Amino acid sequence: MRALSLLLVSSLGVLSACSIVVDVQTDPVDQAIPMTSIQTKVYGEVAVDIPAEARGDIVEITRLALEAVMVNPAAHSDLEFELLLSTEGQATPDQPSVYPGALAPAYVKRATVLVPVTTVRHGESLPVAIYNEQLLEAVTTAPRIWLIAANTLKPLAPLDPDFGVDPLPLELRLEDIVVKAQVLKSFEGASGAQGVLGL
């Protein structure tokens, strides 16, 4: 999997004699989460490196969002999906981590809930867009954060018209993971950005 690292993509211009607006965005990344059983929670963990250009000496963050699409390819099982944010983890940008709920590390219980438990119907793709203070604080202060997706497949009821048995293993997908931010930085804090932008 490609490293999920923020890329400086553009400057919107100088706002004053001592600050500048800078847009930063990640490359879209996909994460597959294998499911080998029904009604058993499985976690998929992705590491996100935050470069110095997006941290420190920030006057104001005018926009910050985490966007992704959760895909449940199952034909006969719904998905209970939850997304967590942690400032500790074991995955690296090049090596995601997958583990069953029974073997979840202790830091999972300390993680912040970004998306509460949500049902993703069989065959459904669910867009996710997150804007909150916990994400803002983590992205602007930590050199690395971890996104942890908790997933449980639930079989359909016998009376459901799509009732049946899904062949295992199934591969759930968290697609197009992107972090977008627009920050107002001091010229001193934007010195790294100036080098990238040629300012």
What are the residue ranges spanned by the domains of the chain?
Answer: 6-197
Q: Are 186 and 86 in contact (CB under 8 A)?
A: no
**CB-based contacts of 194: which residues, under 8 Å, 6+ apart?**
187
**CB-based contacts of 98: which residues, under 8 Å, 6+ apart?**
33, 34, 42, 43, 44, 45
Task: Give the SS3 label for residue 50.
Answer: coil
Q: What angle do CA 67, 98, 89 make, to 5 degrees?
A: 70
What mean pLDDT is predicted for residues 43-68?
75
What mean pLDDT is predicted for residues 174-196?
65
Residue 126: CB atoms within 10 Å:
16
pLDDT score recorded for residue 117: 93
Q: Are 96 and 173 in contact (CB under 8 A)?
A: no
Alpha carbon distance 191, 178 (integer Å):
24
Q: Are 154 and 72 in contact (CB under 8 A)?
A: no
Residue 148 predicted with pLDDT over 90: yes
Model confidence at 2, pLDDT cuts 50, 70, 90, reads very low
Q: Are 55 and 143 in contact (CB under 8 A)?
A: yes
pTM of the model: 0.76
Residue 5 or residue 138, greater confidence: 138
The pLDDT mean for the chain works out to 78
Dihedral of the CA atoms 183, 95, 148, 6 (nearest 10)? 10
111-147 per-position pLDDT tens digit: 999 999 999 999 999 998 888 777 877 777 778 889 9
Residue 17 carries which DSSP code?
Answer: T
What is the separation of C-alpha 154 from the centre of its chain, rounded to a whole number of angstroms? 23
pLDDT score recorded for residue 56: 59
Model confidence at 58, pLDDT cuts 50, 70, 90, reads low
Cis status of the peptide bond prior to 169, with omega within 30 of 0: yes
Q: Are 185 and 69 in contact (CB under 8 A)?
A: no
Q: Of 79-93, 97-111, 160-174, give the lowest mean pLDDT range.
A: 160-174
Q: Single out the residue of 113, 132, 136, 131 nearest to residue 55, CA to CA.
A: 136
